[in-house]
Amino acid sequence: MNKILSNRYIPIVLLLLALALRFYGLETQSMWADEGGTLALAARTPDVILRDTLADVHPPLYYWILHAWMGLFGVNVAAARGLSAICGTLAVLATYQLARRWYGLLAGWVAGIAAAISPLAIHYSQEARMYALAMLLAALLFLVLDAWLDSMQRSKGPVLNRISGVGFSQIVAYSPLHNPSPTSMGHSPSPQSGRGEQGVREERLRVANFQFALYLLLAAALLMTHYFAVTIVAGAALLGIIRIAKQQRYRASLLFALAHLPLAALYLAVVLSSRTRLSTWTAAKSPTDPLFVLIDTLRTFSIGMSGPEYWVWWALLFTGLVLAGFFVRASGSGRLTTGIWLGIPIVLMILISLGQPYYKPRFLLPALPAFHILVGAGVAGLGNWVRVRRQESGTQGRDAPLERLAQGQSANTLSRRVAQRNFLPWLGIALLLTSASLPLYREWFDPSVWRDDYRGAALAISATAGANDVLILNGQSQIDTLNVYLSNTQPRILLPRFRPLDQPATETELQQLAAQYRRIYGLFYVIEESDPQGIMANWLDTHAFPSGSRWYGDIQLRTWETGDLSDQMRSVDANIGGLHLRQQSIVPVTLTPGDAIRMQMDWQADSAPEQPLSLFIHLRDSQGQLIAQYDGPLALQPLVAGTTWTSHAAIILPPATPAGRYQILLGVYNPASGKRLNLADGADTLELGIVEVNH
- pLDDT for res 274: 81
Task: For residue 449, count other CB atoms closer than 10 A to its CB.
Answer: 16
What is the rounded CA–CA span in Å between residue 113 and residue 93?
A: 10
The pTM (predicted TM-score) of the whole model is: 0.86
What residue spans of 247-355 are helical by DSSP H?
A: 250-258, 261-273, 275-279, 290-303, 311-327, 334-352
Q: How confident is the model at residue 416 (pLDDT cuts 50, 70, 90)?
A: low
What is the rounded CA–CA span in Å between residue 473 and residue 522?
A: 6
- pLDDT for res 197: 73
> Mean pLDDT throughout 194-204?
70
What is the rounded CA–CA span in Å between residue 295 and residue 467?
A: 51
- Model confidence over 144-157: pLDDT tens digits? 999 999 887 776 54
What is the rounded CA–CA span in Å between residue 17 and residue 20?
A: 5
> Mean pLDDT throughout 259-265?
96
Q: How confident is the model at residue 284 (pLDDT cuts 50, 70, 90)?
A: low
> Mean pLDDT throughout 457-475?
94
How far does the chain reach from its first CA to its final CA, in angstroms?
70
Q: State which of 14-23, 144-153, 195-204, 570-579 shows the largest mean pLDDT.
A: 14-23
| Crossing angle (nearest 10°) for helices 454-464 and 476-485 | 70
State what percent of residues in the chain have pLDDT above 70. 87
Q: How confident is the model at residue 178 (pLDDT cuts 50, 70, 90)?
A: very low
Return the bridge partners of 585, or none. 600
Residue 530 in contact with residue 475, Cβ under 8 Å?
A: yes
Say if domain 566-693 classifies as CATH 1.10.510.10. Answer: no
Which of 269-283, 481-495, 660-674 bottoms out in mean pLDDT, i.e. has the lowest?
Answer: 269-283
**HSE-up (13 A, CA, CB side) for residue 452:** 22
Q: Is a pLDDT exceeding 80 seen at residue 636?
A: yes
- pLDDT for res 286: 79
Element containing residue 478 per DSSP (H, E): helix 476-485
Residue spans per domain, the chain: 2-183+193-445, 454-561, 566-693
For domain 454-561, give the CATH number: 3.30.110
- pLDDT for res 198: 74
DSSP secondary structure of 239-275: HHHHHHHHTT-HHHHHHHHHTTHHHHHHHHHHHHHTH
Q: How confident is the model at residue 503 (pLDDT cuts 50, 70, 90)?
A: very high
Residue 451 in contact with residue 4, Cβ under 8 Å?
A: no
Provide the mean pLDDT of the chain.
87
> CA angle at residue 638 from 634 to 641, to 5 degrees?
95
